[in-house]
Amino acid sequence: MDFSFSSLFKSEAKSVIGVDIGTSSIKVVQLRREKGHVILETYGAIALGPYAGVEIGRATALGAEKLAEALKDVIREANVTSKDAAIAIPYSASLVSIIKIPAAAEAQLAQVVPIEARKYIPVPISEVQLDWFVVSDAKKHTPDGKIEVLLVAIHNDTTAKFRSIGSEAALVPGFFEIEVFSAVRASLDHGLAPVAVVDLGAATTKFYVVERGLIRESHIINHGSQDLTLNAARALNITVVQAEERKRKYGLSGEGPAPAGGSLPEGQAGADLKRSFELSLSPMISELSRTITGWETRANQSLSALVLTGGGAALRGLRDLMQSKITNEIRLSDPFGKTQAPAFLEKILKEAGPEFSVAVGLALRRLQELG
């Protein structure tokens, strides 16, 4: 169990739970609205490695049964009391794309979008759930006289899988949402300037450009936080469990465990650990930098900031390292900043925040729906 605290408030107000099922952990957040304020009641995270017979921090590919077991465990350990849930769908299990539709067809989008979607979706339209949003301003079409539409598709099998996981854990899902939309809701305020959300997961890093609250572009970078652990284990000749523990405790601080038996000079272990992590992060930061430059060149404008979310964003010293390599402002997501909680938890919640962005974003939308 990574984080949790018992519910500190009792009330008849409606509570909701956001559920983020990742590849390396499940995160849950329970919120309620009271007198116009969003109250954080409880939150928790549980590592999925043990359920797959691998180390904590590793990406897994568990079936619905094991995921439901883990979800029930974290619900119990975090003292979650609500059954009213919102559940995230992994970005990798969805299709999110900007398509162009002739401006003349704007009044018939319900008929036109499914036809256009066939060009992008490799399975029959009847096998997916489709949604779409007009991205371009109604009065401002693209130079070729078309409107831009954000197309979102989720396979019916994916929805069924997550519905069964929720049902097995005795939850009643109010909706399912692709994780990117939840992360953006929790991490950003309503600004006009384009911002990038960088979600650092265990297996991959996801990059989204958000403008006026809409996702304009997205990329997956095939480097994740588990790479740091596995590479450090090899480089330092320690176990994966030891490497994961040191990553969480020391990060890029340059600190490290005391030298064993005097085999290393004082401070050498920490320096080696930091160097290993920096080498592992280098390909991800380079690819991220190229992706940013590519977007800014095509769009002919700059990203105002990069907001880091996901469990990997909690690595000590990561923001400073990335800021030294990337010119855009970099900040950490602070989803719990949108909630009220006891003051003594402020520091803990700020540090834990990036990992819980999706779960908080889900719960915020569910509260909004309930009014």
DSSP helix/strand/coil, 176: strand
Reported pTM: 0.91
In this structure, what are the phi and psi dihedrals at residue 148, rounded to the nearest 5 degrees? -95, 135
In angstroms, how far is CA 108 from the centroid of its own chain?
A: 34
Q: Encoding tokens for residue 339?
A: 């909630």
Among the listed residues 259, 282, 273, the one whose alpha carbon sits nearest the alpha carbon of residue 316 = 273
What angle do helix axes 225-236 and 240-250 make, rounded to 10 degrees? 120
Q: Can you say whether residue 188 is alpha, beta or left, with left for phi > 0 and alpha for psi between -120 and 50 degrees?
A: beta
Number of CB atoms found within 10 A of residue 269's CB: 21
Per residue of the chain (371 residues), give pLDDT as tens.
444 444 444 445 699 999 999 999 999 999 999 988 999 999 999 999 999 999 999 999 999 999 999 999 999 999 999 999 999 999 989 988 888 888 888 888 889 999 999 998 888 999 999 999 888 765 555 667 788 888 999 999 999 999 999 999 999 999 999 999 999 999 998 777 899 999 999 999 999 999 887 888 889 999 999 999 999 999 999 999 999 999 999 999 999 886 554 455 657 878 999 999 999 999 999 999 999 999 999 999 999 999 999 999 999 999 999 999 999 999 999 999 999 999 999 999 999 999 999 999 999 999 999 98
HSE value, Cβ hemisphere, 13 Å, CA-based, for 123: 12
Q: Encoding tokens for residue 84?
A: 């009213």
Residue bearing tokens 């794309």: 97
Tell me the domains of the chain and their CATH numbers: 1-83+334-371 (3.30.420), 92-155 (3.30.1490.300), 189-332 (3.30.420.40)
Residue pair 323/331 in contact (Cβ under 8 Å)? The answer is no
